[in-house]
Amino acid sequence: MNMNELCVSFQPPKPPFDVVLVTGAAGFIGSRAVRLLSDLGCRVIAVDNGYVKLPLPAASAQIVPVTADIRDRQLMKQIFADHRPDAVLHLAAVHHIPTCERDPHLAFDVNVMGTQSLLEAAEAVGTGSIVMASSGAVYVWDSGPLIEGETATGASDVYSITKLANEYQVKGWAERVGARAHLVRLFNTIGNGDPNGHLIPDILAQIVGGDERPVVRLGNTKPKRDYIYVNDVASGFVSALAYIKDGPPIDTFNLCTGRELSVAELVHLMGDILGKEITIESELSRFRRVDRLQQLGNPEKLERKTGWKAAWDARAALTAIVEGLGYLPAASRSNTSHPA
């Protein structure tokens, strides 16, 4: 049985809004969110500027693809005036950490000024609800689960600074114009089709040679992360959008699994899926200059408020990625079904 048949992400029972504008609609997460919203019966205005070089969703009765850069203030106002969306799912951002560090001007221009352009366009036509993608990186470093309203925030790199600025931006805008804003702090997303997903393909490339006991060379393998599969991420954002009508005007949620893996554990799990015994060698030249040791989220609030729950555990997610990249898991080679 295919892993995709075993893991079905949560889907709200009804369309959250008649017309939803999605930014970053061609992206890794955005394309899946567009599909979920259209399947629910929403008319989706799918906006993307082509930055990640992925195609916009195809036009249909439910989907209107629009090529546009959110930094273009006049164009965004025109798009809002033409389509009058009831709500916005704001996913567009420069989120690749090395790119943000290498080109902070770009990161601030897109993430902060682009968001400001979007808010101004929404205000001009009275669009009153926005769900915005923030990040678990806005929390201060902590060894335990990071919890909304309890764990302090504190940005430590360019990307997290822009996301924390976005939170203040969007909340301030909502309070000023009387809109509703829900901020979703996303943790480490994995899946196929990520243009920035270098870690897992790099590991796979080192594992899948002819050697039954391959050596995988990486940087620091101790940091632990809360890895969440992209299908669960898309359904989590849509669930937050569906809840915004009934929830508080302004709220914040973690989008995560509540489980963490170190890089070393990730490597060995991938080796187990592929039937390989792995040896890991850490190379100082691959270490990041700044790297959190832990970043574990607590998803309980989103689960309790919306009914959403992550359907994909790490093994299921990694198996889907392995298969999607054209590799055959050991379980398939031995004609046994994947574990649920």
Residue 17: CATH number of its domain: 3.40.50.720
Residue 140 domain-assigned?
yes
Residue 325 domain-assigned?
no
Residues near 106 by Cβ (< 8 Å), separated by ≥ 6? 94, 99, 100
Q: What is the pLDDT of residues 85-124, one digit of tens each?
A: 999 999 999 999 889 999 999 999 999 999 999 999 999 9
- Report the alpha-carbon distance of residue 317 to residue 314 in Å, rounded: 5
* Inter-helix orientation angle 30-39/230-243, to 10°: 50
> Which amino acid, one-letter code, is at 119?
L
Residue 56 domain-assigned?
yes
274 three-state secondary structure: helix
Domain count, the chain: 1
pLDDT at res. 3: 47
Residue 159 domain-assigned?
yes
Q: Which of 139, 159, 229, 243 is catalytic?
A: 159
Residue 319 domain-assigned?
no
pLDDT at res. 290: 57
Mark whether 139 is an active-site residue: no
With a cut of 50, which residues of the chain have pLDDT below it? 1-5, 335-340
With beta carbons less than 8 A apart as the criterion, state whether 219 and 152 touch: no
**How remote is the C-alpha of 135 from its chain's centroid?**
9
- Report the alpha-carbon distance of residue 216 to residue 198 in Å, rounded: 14
Residue 322 domain-assigned?
no
pLDDT at res. 2: 47
Residue 109 domain-assigned?
yes
pLDDT at res. 317: 95
User: What is the domain range of residue 32?
Assistant: 3-189+229-255
Residue 63 domain-assigned?
yes
Q: What is the pLDDT of residues 278-289, one digit of tens each?
A: 888 876 766 566
